[in-house]
Structure 1
Amino acid sequence: MGVSLERLRDSWRTLMGDATILEPPEEEPIDIVSGEALDLVLRVGELLLASGEATERVNESMLSLAVAYELPRCEVSVTFTVISVSVHPGRGALPVTGARAIRRRNPAYWRLVALHSLIQEASIGLLDVEEAHDRLRRIKRSLPPYGAPYPPWLGVIALGLIASSAGVLVGGGLLVAGTAFVATVLGDRAAAMLGRRGIAEFFQLAVAASIGTASAVLVIAAGAPANASTIVTGAVVALLPGRPLVASIQDGITGDLVSAGARLLEVFFIVAAIVSGLGLTVYAAVHLGVPIDVRDLPAAPVTLRPVAVLAAAAVSMTFAVALAVPRRVLPAAALGGALIWVVYVFARGLGAAPLLAAAVGAVIVGLLGHLLARRRQLPPLPYIVPAIAPLLPGTAVYRGMIQLNDGAASEGVLTLIGGISVALALGAGVNLGGELVRAFQRVGVGGSGRGARPAARRTRGY
């Protein structure tokens, strides 16, 4: 009753002019979502992921662009095959969402460098949206001044030189280097032909591995078993998945478990394809009476002879060319390969197991590579991925397959597990070096720094 009388009194005062009618406050305007900015964030993320960048750094780069171009309340989701961006204008308006699928990957590290330069300039306000779109178009189409540093044929030659250098590293000579080069180039060209016909990449890699192994079998049949084993070792090293291995370990360490699992599955299928090609050829050779003996297989001499150190540097440099790193990174890649070999040899000389020696070398290379990348304001992958190439376990894969096909199944499985463990130690080691750098840096490329990883503070180990 009291409330009704109060309302009647207020109404009477309003009619008599004793009270002022208050206008309802205006609603705050809805934030405007720029379609061009949203499209730019999606396209940059797609190209980064397709070019071989790790998931966490793709996420950081996309968020940096979203902040630079004022996309309100932006959420980014990056997985191995799909990226999505969702922007919320606010005031109950429907979110604006876009997604892109990554159907083809082309590891080109020169493109990563160009994209990170674009992100840095955009983050500090030096590029508007139209200028950023124009630069992105030039990077994607390799238009001047953003173009591939090497002609396509040099990438094919680099694969052959990886095999040649790896063959020399495990004790081969000029004959081994030349034969491994020819076998690897032939395998790559055969795989490229299958790719143009739409054959799956698994079978392309299997064919490339089988061609390298077949050349070794021919050399064994000609009476030179020691030379043959070094040939196939070099051919296998040229096919091993060093790049996706490093990225998969990094994704797992940083908490992107979906992408880490997918990348590890990719590594598994690549190794399975190589093992399949090796296994079929070795199986056929053994049953045709070719005298393949495990005792004839090479073991990289743990020595600091100039030939070995130069071969390790050559493996890393040619691996860098195959990954299309910028030319100014090539000297650092060569030095990284020589350094990881020297550290590995010293650690083995002190009694360390191969797994521990490889991990120690990878940590040092990862630390120095991340520091150099930070100093030059470049992404770290062009520095660290080529450097681990000399220690990739090509010999272990070959030895394990021969043991499996020669009736020593348990020994073969253990050898393959040991080789995979060394590869995982290399990936974990280079990422540990990066974590040590992150622990003391304040900001990095794409906004990465110790304050840019909130997921690291979510849990306490349980």
Structure 2
Amino acid sequence: METELNTIQTTNSSVVEHDALLMQIALYAGELLIRNGAEMYRVEETMVRICESGGICGINPFVTPTLIFIAAGNGKNFLYAKNIKKRSNDISKIALVNDFSRHFVAGHIDISQAMARLRAIDEHKGYPYGLLLVATGIACGIFAVLVGGKFGDFIAAFLASVVAVYIGDKITARSRTVFTANFVASMFVGIIAVASFQIKLVDNLDNIIVGAALALVPGVAFTAGIRDFISGDLISGIARIGEAVLVAIAIAFGVGSILMGYSLLGDL
């Protein structure tokens, strides 16, 4: 009798550990998706599928841009939560987590290997940072030309966007406030635009500001917010659209403060 009881207890303990690990895997996958800009319905669907593939049904996820809850139904007392402090937009990591989810559900990834796979995705560096800055500068410079600029506008917009993105990333790494990073970064856009105008590299400020500010505009976040609204995730939609509007205001204030100061000096 004691042997049978010990066997039952061991089995129950193994099941509990399996279910707890599975829910932690689902929570980590959901965290990676949110931190890299995925839609809420995608996060919930991924978490549910990972849990159901391991035999845990009746999962109740609650997902917002800043907090994840996941609870197990059917009488299982499991509840996990994760606070999301920083978010960005990295489509490559979203694609990697989606690929992980499909392989995990299909049984191609063992549960003992899942956490290591997710950590590898979390630490994935992607393209070199210098290459991303150069690509950003080229895109913004070309946009400045498309709106009527010349070669000088391309050079100025290239330089302004690279400096703004670099400074914005450095501030973001040390601050949780999106307003501060975008405000300071957009101020450098205004400073470089005014300096380019002063040295006669460009004929007007409009093309540079429009082109360089393109790198800071929260278009992806705003679009994700609209998609959350359409899919019925109203809290997430409001939060993301509100954050996008706040970033847009920060950009306007940053550039506007430099132009106002330049105007007060009588040169604009």
For Structure 1 versus Structure 2, the TM-score category normalised by the shorter chain is: 0.7 to 0.9
1:140 maps onto 2:128 in alignment: no
Give yes or no for the alignment of 1:251 onto 2:213.
Answer: no
Q: How far apart, CA to CA, are the structure 1 residues paired with 2:70 and 2:88?
A: 23
Name the amino acid aligned to 2:40.
T
**Are the aligned partners of 1:30 and 1:89 in contact in 2 as well (CA < 8 Å)?**
no
Tell me which amino acid in the other structure corresponds to 2:253.
S
Give the one of 101, 108, 116 matched to 2:83: 101
Whichever residue aligns with residue 229 of structure 1, its letter is D
Q: Match for 2:70: what amino acid?
A: V
Match of 2:94 among 79, 95, 112: 112
SS at match of 2:205: helix
- Find the aligned partners of 2:73 and 2:91 in 1 and give their Cα distance: 34
Find the residue that maps to 1:185 and give its secondary structure. Answer: helix
CA contact (8 A) 1:217 1:290 kept: no
Distance 1:125 1:197, change over 3 A: closer
Residue 188 of structure 2 aligns to a residue whose secondary structure is helix
**C-alpha displacement of 1:191:** 2.9
Amino acid at match of 1:171: G
Any conservation in 2 of the 1:221–1:290 contact (CA below 8 Å)? no
Partner residue of 2:256 out of 279, 291, 312? 279
TM-score normalised according to structure 1 size: 0.52
Shift of 1:72: 3.1
> Which of these residues, 38, 54, 77, is aligned with residue 69 of structure 1?
54
**Match of residue 84, structure 1, among 69, 74, 79:** 69
CA offsets per residue over residues 318-364 of structure 1, 9 Å max, x none? Answer: xxxxxxxxxxxxxxxxxxxxxxxxxxxxxxxxxxxxxxxxxxxxxxx
Q: Quick one: distance in 2 between partners of 1:138 and 1:203?
A: 31
**CA distance in 1 between partners of 2:86 and 2:171 (Å):** 16
1:23-38 to 2 correspondence within 5 Å? 32-33=15-16, 34-38=19-23
Matched-pair contact (CA < 8 Å) for 2:165–2:216: no
The CA distance in 2 between the partners of 1:88 and 1:139, in whole Å, is: 29
Larger radius of gyration: 1
TM-score, normalised to structure 2, is 0.87
Q: How does 1:321-336 map to 2 (within 5 A)?
A: none
Q: Match for residue 34 of structure 2?
A: 49
Question: Aligned to 1:40, which of 10, 15, 25?
Answer: 25
The one-letter code of the counterpart of 2:121 is I
Distance (Å, rounded) in 1 between the aligned partners of 2:163 and 2:119: 34
Question: What displacement does 1:151 show?
Answer: 0.9
- 2:53 partner amino acid: A
- Distance in 2, matches of 1:264 and 1:30, equals 46
How far 1:233 moved relative to its partner? 0.9
Query: How far apart, CA to CA, are the structure 2 residues paired with 1:224 and 1:133?
Result: 53
Look up the match of 2:3. none
CA drift of 1:109 comes to 1.4
Which runs of structure 2 are paired with 1:389-428 in the superposition (5 Å)?
A: none
CA gap 1:279/1:48 in 2 versus in 1, 3 angstroms: same
2:158 paired residue number: 181
Residue identity matched to 1:43: Y
Deviation, structure 1 residue 230: 0.8
Query: CA distance change for structure 1 residues 180 and 77 in 2, over 3 Å: closer, same or farther?
Result: same
Question: Can you give the 5+ residue segments of structure 1 that lack an aligned partner in the other structure?
Answer: 1-28, 292-462
Deviation at 1:110, TM superposition (A): 1.3
Tell me if structure 1 keeps the 8 A contact 2:137–2:159: yes
Amino acid at match of 1:261: I
Offset at 1:226? Answer: 4.0
User: Is 1:126 equivalent to 2:103 in the alignment?
Assistant: no
Q: CA deviation at 1:212?
A: 1.2
Look up the equivalent residue of 1:167 and give its one-letter code. A
Alignment size in residue pairs: 255
Counterpart AA for 1:270: V
Contact 1:220–1:290 (CA under 8 A) maintained in structure 2: no
**Alpha-carbon distance change, 196 to 114 in structure 1, aligned in 2, over 3 angstroms:** closer
Which residue is equivalent to 1:260? 237
